[in-house]
């Protein structure tokens, strides 16, 4: 991405704080340190929404306990730790049990149900008027422990329409494998249903 030069003024104590961030590795100069600080500030203001997607038939997964908390509770804590303010749980109507509704209310999550599940894109279109321009989508049957803030900052720097977190697997046939060139997806092979 092309960079543009700017001129700024700041007091000496702030500049010393910025200089203290320069580590010679990931931040090699003042410009990089200031850019990193600005991106981190933007991220906390810019990405406020998350959507948790889960098929109605798999909603019981959200209620499973791992380390004393349900998967839905753990996902909510993880998202909020990374600055997410509004969380939507999007599922099929068949899966919106009373337990899911109660837990969603307790966690301050907006539950959205689909009459007929038609896939990810049609589901997300139902939220088109509720979501900010930038938002996060996570799968409901997955426990996440990666640095979401770092991923969001990476996304903002790339100026691309989407950034997808991927994992390696010893059994890729169970999932929807992708082929990568560097950090770009060049082929996606949907999972056989």
3-state SS, one letter per residue, for 158-190: HCCCCCCCCCCCCCHHHCCCEEEECCEEEEECC
Q: What is the mean pLDDT of residues 114-119?
A: 78
Could you tell me if 148 and 126 are in contact, meaning their C-beta atoms sit under 8 angstroms apart?
Answer: no
Which pLDDT value is given to residue 87?
94
Could you tell me if 103 and 62 are in contact, meaning their C-beta atoms sit under 8 angstroms apart?
Answer: yes
Q: What is the mean pLDDT of residues 39-52?
A: 78
Residue with tokens 């990089």: 32
Say what percent of the chain tops pLDDT 70. 94
C-alpha–C-alpha distance, residues 53 and 91, integer Å: 6
In terms of Cβ atoms closer than 10 Å to its own Cβ (0-12, 13-18, 19+), residue 89 is buried
How confident is residue 57, by pLDDT bands cut at 50, 70 and 90? confident
C-alpha–C-alpha distance, residues 79 and 90, integer Å: 15
- Beta bridge mates, 53: 90, 139
Which pLDDT value is given to residue 43?
61
Percent composition of the chain: helix, strand, coil (DSSP 3-state, to 5): 40, 20, 40
CATH superfamily, domain 47-151, is Spore Coat Polysaccharide Biosynthesis Protein SpsA; Chain A (3.90.550.10)
Residue with tokens 């900010």: 132
How confident is residue 62, by pLDDT bands cut at 50, 70 and 90? confident
C-alpha–C-alpha distance, residues 12 and 82, integer Å: 30
Q: What is the mean pLDDT of residues 14-32?
A: 91
| Torsion angle defined by CA atoms of residues 120, 125, 127 and 129, in that order, rounded to the nearest 10 degrees | 160
How confident is residue 45, by pLDDT bands cut at 50, 70 and 90? low
């Amino acid at each position: 991405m092309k960079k543009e030069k700017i001129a700024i003024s700041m007091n000496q104590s702030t500049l010393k704080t910025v200089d203290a961030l320069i580590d010679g590795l990931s931040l090699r100069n003042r410009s990089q340190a200031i850019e990193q600080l600005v991106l981190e500030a933007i991220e906390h203001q810019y990405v406020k929404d998350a959507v948790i997607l889960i098929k109605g038939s798999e909603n019981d997964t959200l209620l499973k306990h791992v380390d004393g908390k349900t998967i839905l509770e753990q996902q909510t804590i993880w998202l909020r730790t990374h600055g997410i303010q509004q969380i939507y749980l999007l599922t099929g109507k068949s899966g919106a049990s009373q337990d899911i509704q109660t837990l969603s209310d307790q966690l301050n999550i907006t539950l959205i149900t689909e009459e007929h599940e038609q896939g990810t894109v049609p589901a997300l279109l139902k939220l088109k008027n509720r979501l900010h321009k930038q938002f996060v989508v996570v799968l409901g049957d997955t426990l996440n422990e990666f640095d979401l803030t770092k991923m969001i900052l990476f996304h903002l720097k790339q100026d691309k329409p989407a950034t997808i977190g991927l994992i390696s697997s010893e059994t890729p046939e169970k999932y929807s494998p992708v082929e990568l060139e560097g950090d770009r997806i060049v082929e996606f092979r949907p999972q056989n249903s």
